[in-house]
Amino acid sequence: MKRRLQRLRSEHGAVLPLVGIMLVVLLGLSAFATDLGWFYLNANRAQRAADAAALAGVIYMPAEFATTASSTALQIAGANGFTDGVDGVVVTPSKVKDAGGVTDSPYELRVTVTATVPTFFLKVLGKSSQTITRSAVAEFVPPLPMGSPQSQFGNACDPRQSGCTNQPNFWANIHGKYTDTKMGDAYSSWCPDKSGSGKNCDTSPNPSWRDRGYLYGIEVASGTTSFTVNTLDLALHTPGGDPKRTGDHNVCGGCGGAGHTVTATLYVPDSTPLDVTDAIPVCTVTKGPEPELAAGAPYVWEPLCTVVNPVTGIYTLEIKVDTPNANDDTGLNRYSLNVTGIGATPHLYGIGDISIFNNISAISADFYLAEVDSAYRGKTFVVELYDPGDAQNNVSNIISFRGPPDGTIPWTSGCRISTRDEVTDDWSPLATIGSGSPCEIDATRPAHNYDGKWLKTEFDLPAGYPGGWWKVHYAYNGTAQDTTTWRAYIIGSPLHLVLGK
């Protein structure tokens, strides 16, 4: 017994070294866990800053990468706690290569945030800081240019008349509020389809009606010292209209109204050209109804607004009819727009959607639809047509689509076609056309009557898609007095982060 007690006394303190070793290990693990959490927190902060900076800057791509896009990205990164050049922080905006890895993707922006983070307990182990790098790629899908690749939207004369050549074969169109939607304007007409025209047409509006006009983009490049927006026949001509020229007329001439007023407003460029509620106006011009014109009256361009020393970017032009209490607003108003410039001439086109009027007979006609850049390879391009093919019965009427680079080549890479009556209805499939066959819609009436209906055509853009302008090809074997409304867009959120790049 005595010998055992002596042995136990000799082992006193043996556990202390083990406890000391374990404490060092535990302290090291605690230090590592604390610093790891600190790294994780700062990495998340850097990622959020990169995300916000990329989303803020990409809307100015590609024209302003070196200026506004980059400076905005740097500013937003700083507002999120990462200021370039301060405390070792580096914020780098850069362009992004497209899927082929050769050319720059025009509508994408990468922002990389690099920061040096101090450690806490790891300093004991000789590590005083950690470098963290996070990046984000954002994409902005701007409104597709529609209707015109040039500086003119609509005809300058009647293509049916001798000597009137090289025209786009349509007039821009807007209808008065109390016009039946079946007349072809999906957005300006309050009266639901087939409810008639006049302020008592219905107590509820056409589901797609909006209290906003049609929008046009005037794209100004560097080198433009001034530009002027001009209009042709912008006012509504009443009472008999202008049926021999642009096709103006008042569909409710017996209602006692004088006809609607048209207002044109030009706005300075901003990051949301489709939203003019917060845009700053440059000028506003209002046109009241004017007397009807004789068939041989000359076509006269009238200046609307001149901008001196314009900024680079897209000026938005809104054409809108008034919203009266009287029964005046039932006219069908056709007009054209152009822009002239000193220095570089701006480009003019519809944005978001357009309403147009054509009055052709016994011919085939091509109409510029939309410009779809090669940057949209791999995405889905969508065209929606409202009230198309309003032509004679029992004569062939085929609508087809022609693709890039210049809208002369029939699209044979497949498409999907569907229809619906109202924007509140679900789409019903009509046809799926496989690769190798032209994408065509038979609009021969009465068997295929799309009067007052929507048609949607979807195109999956392949990897080798070249980019350029699309056209709609109408092949009529009869006469047509057709007002239609078109939309063209790329599927997806216009502004979003791109994962995996």
**Exposure string (b/e) for 125-142, b if CB count within 10 Å is 16 or more?**
eeeeebebebbbbbbbbb
Residue 257: the pLDDT is 64
Q: Based on the number of CB atoms within 10 Å of its own CB, is 33 exposed (0-12), middle (13-18) or buried (19 or more)?
A: exposed
In a shared domain, residues 189 and 134: no
In a shared domain, residues 310 and 181: yes
Q: What is the pLDDT of residues 165-185, one digit of tens each?
A: 888 889 999 998 888 898 899
Measured in degrees and rounded to the nearest 5, phi and psi for residue 236 equal: -80, 130
In a shared domain, residues 302 and 423: no
The string of DSSP letters for 380-401 reads EEEEEEES---B-BTS-EEEEE
Cα 347 from Cα 229, distance rounded (Å): 11
CA distances from 328 to 202, 246, 479, 493 (A): 16, 20, 30, 39
Residue 244: the pLDDT is 62
In a shared domain, residues 438 and 417: yes
Q: What is the number of residues in the chain?
A: 501
Q: How many domains does the chain have?
A: 3
In a shared domain, residues 166 and 129: no
In a shared domain, residues 394 and 353: no
Strands 108-118 and 331-342, sheet pairing: unpaired
CATH of the domain at 498: 2.60.120
With a CB cutoff of 8 Å and minimum separation 6, the contacts of 231 are 264, 301, 302, 304, 335, 336, 337
* Residue with token string 């087809």: 400
Position with higher pLDDT, 291 vs 79: 79
pLDDT band at 20 (very low <50, low <70, confident <90, very high): low
The model carries a pTM of 0.85
In a shared domain, residues 105 and 173: no
Provide the residue range defining the domain that includes 20.
2-140
Strands 237-238 and 290-291, sheet pairing: parallel
In a shared domain, residues 134 and 151: no
Residue 310: the pLDDT is 94
In percent, the amount of the chain with pLDDT more than 70 equals: 88
Amino acid symbol at 486: W
| Domain boundary residue, one of 305, 330, 357 | 357
In a shared domain, residues 162 and 116: no
In a shared domain, residues 82 and 194: no
Average pLDDT, stretch 327-340? Answer: 86
In a shared domain, residues 70 and 150: no
| Domain boundary residue, one of 107, 140, 173 | 140
* Residue with token string 């048209």: 262
* Residue with token string 């690769």: 435
| Domain boundary residue, one of 312, 342, 357 | 357
pLDDT band at 103 (very low <50, low <70, confident <90, very high): confident
In a shared domain, residues 372 and 301: no
Amino acid symbol at 388: P
